[in-house]
Chain A
Amino acid sequence: MTSADDSSRFEQVATIGGLPVRTHDHLCVLYRGQCQRDDLMAEFLSGGLRTGDRCYCMIASDKHQRIADAVSARTGRVPDGAVPGAAGRIDFVAPEGSHLGRGDFVSDRMLQFWDDWAIATFDRDGVAHARIIADMSWAKALVDDDGFVMDLARYETRFTVWASRHPQVTACMYDLDRFDGDVIVPIVRAHPKVWMNGVVLTNPYHLRSEYLSDAETRELTGHAAATR
C-alpha cells in the first residue's frame, strides 16, 4: 500500500467548480443536470492531464466520448493514454467495470477494488499522483434495495480512510435532480467536504461515524491537522 504522508504534497493540486482541492481530499459534488456534470468533469480531468496525473473517470459508457470530447476541447489533446505508465492520461470506466462489478454493489468489494487499483497504479506503474472522479448516477436504480443506501454511506465514509493513504484526489458526483433527501443527507454526512452547486459545505461531524474505528478516526484527525 502506498503511503503519501509527505506534507510537501498537501498543497492545492486541483480545482473542481472553483474549489481548490489537495492531495488526499475526498469530495462529494452535488450537481444539477448533465451539462454541469460534464463541465465539472472536464475541468477536473483537463487539469489532471496538464499536471501529468493518472485520471480515473467512472461514468456510464455512453457518456465516455462526450467527456473525452469536452476534455479535448479544453486541452487540445486526446485524453486516452495508450502507453502503460504514461503520465497524464484518462482511464474511462463504466459502473459495470467498478462499482457494479458483479451486477450489484458491495462496499467491501469496492474498497478492495480500490486497494487493488492503488497497487497497480502507484506501486506497479509508479504513478506519482492520481485523480478519481465518479458519476454516481448508477446508484439511483438501487436506492430502494434494502440496505443499499446504508452500504453506500459506509463505502463513502470508509473511502475517506483509503483516500488519506494514497496520493490522489477524488470527487464523487451525485445529481441533485436524481437523488432526494434519503440519499443526499447520508451522502453529505459521509463526506468531509461537499461542493453543492457552487457552495462549499463542510461537515464537522464526518468523523463521528459508526463506520470508522477509533484508530481510523484518530488517523484521520491527525491527518486533517497535518494538512491544515
Chain B
Amino acid sequence: MPRQPDDGLHVAYPGGAPGGHQPFWAHARIDGTALDVLVVLARALATRWVVDDLADRFARSVATAAATVVTAGECTFDLWEEPGRLVCHVAHGAVAAATAPQPDRLRLVDPTATPGGREPGTGIVVEHGPGRVTVMLPVPFG
C-alpha cells in the first residue's frame, strides 16, 4: 500500500541516505516538446526496481499525466525515489517558493488532490489535483 501523499518524504535521508543509497531526484521545467524525455527517465528509474513491463506502464502513465498538464503551458516535472515508491509529480507553472521541494522533506503532493485512481493490476496510482498530476509506483525498497 503506497504511503499517503503528505507523509514525511525523504525525511529519513538528511545528510545522505542510509546504507549508501543516494536517493534519486530529478527536477525540470518542461513544455509539450520533450515528453519523450520524461518517458525515458521514468522508465530508466523504474526498471531499477520493477520488471520491464511494469516500468513501461509507469513511464506511459507519466507521459499521459505530463501531457494532460502541459497542455495548459509550461510545467515543473519532478521524479524521485522515496521509501516504498517512485513518485512523479507534474504541475502547471512554477513551483511557489513555499511549496517548492526541499532536500530534507519533499512535499510536492497536494493534500487536496483527489483520491488516486489505481491502474488495475499494476499498483500504479495516479492522483489529479488542480493543475497537477502525481503518479506513484510502489517499489520493493525502503
A residues apposed to B, CB below 8 Å: 30, 176, 180-182, 184-185, 188-189, 194, 196-205, 208-210
Contact = CB atoms under 8 A, between A and B. Distances in A.
B4 to A, nearest CB: 23
B44 A181 contact: yes
Q: Which 6 A-B pairs have the closest CB atoms?
A: A181-B44, A181-B47, A184-B44, A199-B37, A199-B34, A201-B26
Given A184-B44, A208-B15, 14 more contacts: A180-B47, A181-B44, A181-B48, A181-B55, A182-B47, A185-B44, A189-B22, A197-B40, A199-B38, A200-B28, A201-B41, A205-B103, A208-B13, A208-B23
A122 B125 CA distance: 53
Most buried by A among B15, B26, B29, B48: B26
Contacts of B36: 197
Interface string B38-61: 101101111110000001000000
A205 B20 contact: no
Contacts of B13: 208
Given A198-B37, A210-B16, A188 B24 contact: yes
B103 A202 contact: no
B28 A199 contact: yes
A29 to B, nearest CB: 12
Contact of B22 (A197, A201, A210): A210
B17 interface: yes
A204 B45 contact: no
A189 B37 CA distance: 16
Contacts of B43: 181
Contacts of B15: 208
Contacts of A181: 43-48, 55
B34 A197 contact: yes
Contacts of A209: 16, 22
Most buried by B among A185, A200, A201: A201
7 contacts: A181-B55, A184-B41, A184-B44, A185-B24, A203-B26, A204-B103, A208-B17
Contact of A196 (B22, B23, B40): B40
Contact of A188 (B29, B38, B41): B41
B40 A202 contact: no
